[in-house]
Amino acid sequence: MLYLRPVICACLVALGLNAQSVTHAQKAQLAIPFGQVEGNLLTTGEVLLFVDSEQPAGSFAARRGEIESVALENDILTLATKEPFRDRSGSRNRFVFKLADPAAGDGLVAWFKAGPADGAQAADAKAGDEKTWAYNAKHTHFPFGECSGKLVFSKNRFSYESVENAGHSRQWNVRDLKEIKRDNPYEIDVRPFDGNDYKFKLMQKGMSSDEYRTLVDFVTAARMPK
C-alpha cells in the first residue's frame, strides 16, 4: 500500500482525485532555471501530478490527453505538454525530472503510451454534450484578500465554487454574462450584467486561446434569438 504524505493527499483532494487510485508514486527533482525542485511525481487514473514538496502552490497536474510526449533516458524523464502549465518558476510546456528510482520511469512511460481505458473513452463519448472545462483558481477580493476554488464553464453555465469561503461561490447562465476578459492565460475577468465583477487568477494550468474562444462563442450564441 502506498503511503502518501499529507501535502500530496491535499493536492489530490484539491484536484478532485482519489488517493486510492494512485498507480505510480516516486520522489523526483524538477529542473528549473538556476536549480531544482524537490517533489513527488505520481499518476492517478488519467492524471499525472507533480507535487512540489516545499511550495505546494507550485504543483501542477496534466491529463494524459494534454501530454505531447514522455521520454526516458537513464534517470532523466522529459515531459512535453500540448499547452503551457505553470510551476513555481513560471509557465512552460517542457519539464525535465531526475528520478530517485530510474527503474520506475518505465512505468510512467508505459502509463503514457497506454492511453485511456475503454471505459474512460466510453464515458468521454457519453458526456460529449456535457463537456466542461475546469481550472483551479483564486478569486481576488475587493479591496484585498482572496480565496481558492474551482472555476468551471460549459455551454450553458459559468461557475466558481470556493473551497474556503462559500459566500464567494457564484454561478451564472452564460446569457447573463456581459463580458469575459482574458488578459493572459492566467488572469480572467468575469463581468455579469447584474452583480459584481469577478477577477480570477488561474493556478497550475491557464486558459488556452482555443478554450477562451470557445467560451466567448458560448456567450455570443446564448444572446442570439431562438
Confidence tier at 225 by pLDDT (50, 70, 90):
low
From 98, 122, 146, the end of a domain falls on: 122
Confidence tier at 224 by pLDDT (50, 70, 90):
confident
The count of domains in the chain is: 2
| Residue 64 CA: distances (Å) to CA of 58, 82, 109, 116, 164 | 20, 10, 11, 8, 29
12 pLDDT more than 60: no
Classify 213 as helix, strand or coil: helix
Mean pLDDT, residues 191-196 taken together: 87
Q: In the 8-state DSSP scheme, what is residue 178?
A: E
Instruction: Say whether both 211 and 184 belong to one domain.
Output: yes
Instruction: Say whether both 111 and 132 belong to one domain.
Output: no
Contact 24, 42 (CB under 8 A): yes
> Residues 90-137: pLDDT tens digits?
888 889 999 998 888 888 888 888 865 444 443 443 444 457 888 888
Instruction: Say whether both 150 and 110 belong to one domain.
Output: no
140 pLDDT more than 50: yes
Q: Is residue 156 part of a domain?
A: yes
The range of the structural domain enclosing residue 82 comes to: 6-122
**Cα dihedral 81→162→16→11 (10° resolution):** 70
Average pLDDT of the chain, as a whole number: 79
Instruction: Say whether both 80 and 110 belong to one domain.
Output: yes
Contact 62, 47 (CB under 8 A): yes
Instruction: Say whether both 12 and 28 belong to one domain.
Output: yes
Q: Which of 176, 216, 214, 221 has its CA nearest to residue 197?
A: 176
* Cell of residue 111, nine digits: 502509463
Q: How far apart, in whole angstroms, are the C-alpha atoms of residue 54 and residue 36?
A: 11
Instruction: Say whether both 35 and 49 belong to one domain.
Output: yes
Instruction: Say whether both 64 and 10 belong to one domain.
Output: yes
Mean pLDDT, residues 18-30 taken together: 71
Which residues are registered as beta bridge partners of 161?
150
* Cell of residue 141, nine digits: 477580493
